[in-house]
Amino acid sequence: MIKEFNKVAKDTNNFLNSYLKKQTKSELLYPMKYSLLPGGKKIRSKILIDVGKIFNLSYKNLIKIGAAIECIHAYSLVHDDLPCMDNDDIRRGKLSTHKKFGEATAVLAGNSLLTLAYEILSDKNLSINQEKKLKLVKLISKSSGHTGIAGGQFLDLNYERKKKSLNKIIDMQVKKTGKLFSFSCLAPLILTKKNYRIYNKFESIGNDIGLLFQIADDLIDYKGNLKKAGKKTNKDKKKGKATIINLLGYKNTIKYADRLKIKIFNKLKPYGKKSNSLKKTILFIINRQK
Ligand code: GRG
């Protein structure tokens, strides 16, 4: 499992490295690289590859699409760490981008990572037809903007120190984290032109994987430590974050996550062995320590 993870991470990083090398030089390239590489677990790319396996898709194309996802993800982390957001000094075991380069540079490097994602998706070297490219661009935009990551982040900041219902917390976490996972699950379907029923099913699988991922992240904050997590922990309680753990407590959150896992696995049953890789990644998500 770790071997498969490492391969996806390595191939994604290699692609991003050579893509950045071909860019016209600018002063922002270094802070962009710092925020993007070698980067984190590349779990969104791994999910994309796993779903691609179910539908027998080309690994090479998926690595490129995954690289675009990782650019948006890195951008969201750079902005998430800013003083006006979650104000964090450490990310991926090193200084967060604004701590290393200053706030203005972090904002601009983040913005440039966002636009890089669109550059990668619309690149002529991504060998898929224009119609599919356009669909990918539209979906990744919806996943990142006010109906996705940015909208979820807005709610997350707004819900601090407020008592929110489970449904409101789930809605916020699905937007903040789930929508990009949902993109990872849907991009392969765009490439294969699957029908609406399957599309809706994988959209909901993606949202649920993202929610599960966010719950695991909150559990790491609750129980983990800086050395293992590569970022400060025990922050959610101090900040009064609206999380499922803060609402339901530790034990009930574990039960909730277990039910969510069973729900996802049931939806994957029709795909038999072809979904084994995705199932293993989901188990990794639940048991991860960073
Ligand atoms: C519109 C893209 C965009 C961003 C602006 C700041 C912001 C709005 C959104 C923040 C969203 C955010 C940081 C969500 C948390 C998701 C999460 C649990 C991140 C940790 O992901 P990992 O563990 O990180 O995959 P690595 O380091 O492994 O890549």
Q: What is the mean pLDDT of residues 126-130?
A: 94
The helix/strand/coil state of 233 is coil
Overall size of the chain counted in residues? 290
**Would the pLDDT of 235 be above 90?**
no
pLDDT for residue 225:
78
Predicted pLDDT of residue 186: 97
Mutation probe of ligand 1 site: the residue of 77, 85, 172 with most atoms within 8 A of C-beta: 77
Domain 2-284 has CATH 3.90.79.10: no
Per-residue tokens: 25: 């030089």
Residue 195 Cα, ligand 1 centroid: separation in angstroms? 30
Stretch 190-212: mean pLDDT: 92
pLDDT higher than threshold 90 for residue 223? no
pLDDT at 117 over 90: yes
- Position 194 scores a pLDDT of 76
pLDDT band at 156 (very low <50, low <70, confident <90, very high): very high
Distance of CA 137 to the CA centre of its chain: 16
Answer whether 257's CB lies under 8 Å from 215's CB.
Answer: yes
Alpha-helical runs (H) found in the chain? 2-21, 29-36, 43-54, 59-80, 97-101, 103-121, 130-144, 149-158, 166-173, 179-192, 196-223, 226-229, 236-239, 244-248, 250-268, 276-287
Does the CB atom of residue 116 touch ligand 1 within 6 A?
Answer: no
Q: What is the pLDDT of residue 234?
A: 86
Percent of the chain past pLDDT 70, that is, above it, reads: 100
Give the separation between CA 143 and CA 286, rounded to whole angstroms: 23
User: 1 pLDDT band (50/70/90 cuts)?
Assistant: low
Contact 166, 176 (CB under 8 A): no
Judged against a pLDDT cut of 80, whether residue 283 lies above it is answered with: yes
How much is the pTM? Answer: 0.95
DSSP state of 240: T
* pLDDT over threshold 90, residue 134: yes
State the pLDDT at residue 172: 97
pLDDT at 209 over 90: yes
CB of residue 72 inside a 6 A radius of ligand 1: yes
Q: Whose CA is nearest to atom 4 of ligand 1?
A: 76
- Between 71 and 234, whose confidence is greater? 71
Residue with tokens 């701590």: 99
Name which of 74, 70, 45, 75 is nearest 60 in CA terms.
45
Question: Is the Cα dihedral 209, 211, 215, 220 positive or negative?
Answer: positive
Give the mutation target among 16, 35, 80 for probing the ligand 1 site: most ligand atoms within 8 A of CB. 80
Q: How sure is the predictor about 142, in pLDDT bands with cuts at 50, 70 and 90? A: very high
Query: What is the phi/psi pair of residue 91, to 5°?
Result: -145, 135
Residue 225: phi and psi, rounded to 5, are -140, 165
For ligand 1, is residue 77 a contact (CB within 6 Å)? yes
Is the CB–ligand 1 distance for residue 217 below 6 Å? yes
* Contact assessment for residue 66 and residue 202, using Cβ atoms and an 8 Å cutoff: no
Q: What is the pLDDT of residue 91?
A: 95
